Amino acid sequence: MGLTAEVTKTPFLSLTEEELTAALDHAGLLAFGAKLPEIAYRLVHQNGQFDLGSLPGVGAHKRARLAELFELGALEILEAEPSWDQSVRYAFRLRDGAVIETVLIPHHGLWTACVSSQAGCALRCGFCATGKLGLLRNLEVHEIVGQVLTVAAHSGKRISDLVFMGMGEPLQNEAAVYKSCAILASTKGAQISQKRMVISTSGIVPAIRRFTAAGHRMKLVFSLGSAVPEKRAQLMPIQRTYGFESLLDSIREYGASRGGKHVTLEYIAIRDWTLGDEDIEAIKQHLVGFKFILNVIPLNPVDPELAAPTLEEVRAWTSKLRPLGFPVKIRRSSGRDQGAACGQLGTSLLKQGQTFRRSVEAV
């Protein structure tokens, strides 16, 4: 299947309400229906009806024009696998044949969508299934927004939280990610507060600085991997481009911009790798100058050289951190039994022997 999608119509899900209004005005469709943009936006983004032909109170001629102007479809669901913990892993096939994954995760009666920002990923983190696929391409705005709306429509759940922890490095697709956040926050749309949107980054330092300078309301979390610089460089090759100290500086700047609130660092627990006394010493030595929460995530094995620890091993190690005075959480990933965990998406594709092209922009 070809890799270039033939898109002649404007993807409806890529438009803010203001852009939709301008497009309808340009097409002469606002003359007798100033409320048309709002009605259309609510129908699709709030009611999950991916059919402008069912717009209430809109004449047949106008509906036909809308169908000519806009491409509007839910993403094609390849799989929707429920897990023991009520999370559901979705695999979507995009127009060009790329497959991406999204996870719907329950938490205290609310629902989070863990979305992908790229098809595959170029950054090759050693603990991550997606990294082993390579990068096919950045996702477009409508493909990011479409994940959330399709999952909501399919599950019948109202999504209150969004995390960019699926496939891809979100800060290598900044513009599309930020626009998607704005669209999904619209009061005429999905109404997900930007304060409840989390973007996880492996450490794209210039983009972190741009994020901080822009004053976005979404939250960044940082994938630390390990606090020993040499180990981190092995686990996360991005560090060869953006060094450990510059990453920590950018995190300090981000923390300061949030009024000194705790910054979340994600730490991967790997047996015989990141659970030693030297790792505790490195945390004491390097993670200074800002307040942080350490989320310790037991590895889901994707590489024979990296072994998953038992929960007891992780607990024993984190108990040594408690006296250091910062919050430590052991975070068990939702949907662990089916490879639907953070950094694990794409596992099913790997099992099928699929790989994406390596990006020429790879680190």
* Active site (catalytic) residues: 101, 342
Residue 199 engages ligand SF4 in binding (rule: CB under 6 A): no
The C-alpha atoms of residue 202 and residue 173 are separated, in whole angstroms, by: 13
Do the Cβ atoms of 123 and 236 come closer than 8 Å?
A: yes
Q: Which C-beta is closer to ligand SF4: that of 189 or that of 225?
A: 225
Chain positions 331 to 350 lying near ligand SF4, rule: CB under 6 A, are 343
CB of 239 to ligand SF4, least distance (A): 11
Sign of CA dihedral 204, 206, 210, 213: positive
Residue 204 engages ligand SF4 in binding (rule: CB under 6 A): no
Residue 272 DSSP symbol:
T
Instruction: Look at the chain and count its residues.
Output: 363
CB of 128 to ligand SF4, least distance (A): 3
Instruction: Please enumerate in sequence order all residues whose Cβ is within 8 A of that of 343, keeping only pairs 6 or more positions apart, or say none.
Output: 125, 127, 128, 129, 130, 165, 223, 268, 297, 300
Owner of token pair 């007798």:
32
The pattern of x and - marking residues 52 through 91 that bind ligand SF4 according to CB under 6 A reads ----------------------------------------
Nearest CA to 139 among 114, 122, 113, 117?
117
Q: Which C-beta is closer to ligand SF4: that of 167 or that of 282?
A: 167
Residue 125 engages ligand SF4 in binding (rule: CB under 6 A): yes
Q: Which C-beta is closer to ligand SF4: that of 21 or that of 130?
A: 130
Residue 17 engages ligand SF4 in binding (rule: CB under 6 A): no
Residue 128 engages ligand SF4 in binding (rule: CB under 6 A): yes
Residue 359 engages ligand SF4 in binding (rule: CB under 6 A): no
Q: Which C-beta is closer to ligand SF4: that of 298 or that of 343?
A: 343
Q: Which of 123, 199, 208, 235 binds ligand SF4 (CB under 6 A)?
A: 123
The C-alpha atoms of residue 91 and residue 29 are separated, in whole angstroms, by: 36
Q: Which C-beta is closer to ligand SF4: that of 169 or that of 279?
A: 169
CB of 123 to ligand SF4, least distance (A): 4
Residue 202 engages ligand SF4 in binding (rule: CB under 6 A): yes
The C-alpha atoms of residue 123 and residue 238 are separated, in whole angstroms, by: 6
Which stretch, 60-68, 117-125, 147-155, 290-298, contacts ligand SF4 (CB under 6 A)? 117-125
Judged on CB neighbours under 10 Å (0-12, 13-18, 19+), 265 is buried
Q: Which of 168, 189, 255, 298 binds ligand SF4 (CB under 6 A)?
A: 168
Q: Which C-beta is closer to ligand SF4: that of 11 or that of 168?
A: 168
CB of 118 to ligand SF4, least distance (A): 8
Do the Cβ atoms of 170 and 130 come closer than 8 Å?
A: no
Residue 295 engages ligand SF4 in binding (rule: CB under 6 A): no
Tokens of 98: 């790329």
Residue 306 engages ligand SF4 in binding (rule: CB under 6 A): no
Residue 140 engages ligand SF4 in binding (rule: CB under 6 A): no
Phi-psi region of 78 (alpha: psi -120 to 50; beta: other; left: phi over 0): alpha
Which stretch, 72-80, 125-133, 151-159, 286-294, contacts ligand SF4 (CB under 6 A)? 125-133
Partners of 71 in the β-ladder: 11
Residue 126 engages ligand SF4 in binding (rule: CB under 6 A): no
Give the C-alpha distances (Å, rounded to integers) separating 203 from 187, 197, 199, 303: 31, 18, 11, 22
Give the C-alpha distances (Å, rounded to integers) separating 242 from 151, 249, 288, 289, 360: 35, 11, 19, 19, 18
Q: Which C-beta is closer to ligand SF4: that of 131 or that of 146?
A: 131
Residues that bind ligand SF4 (CB under 6 A): 121, 123-125, 128, 130-131, 167-169, 202, 343
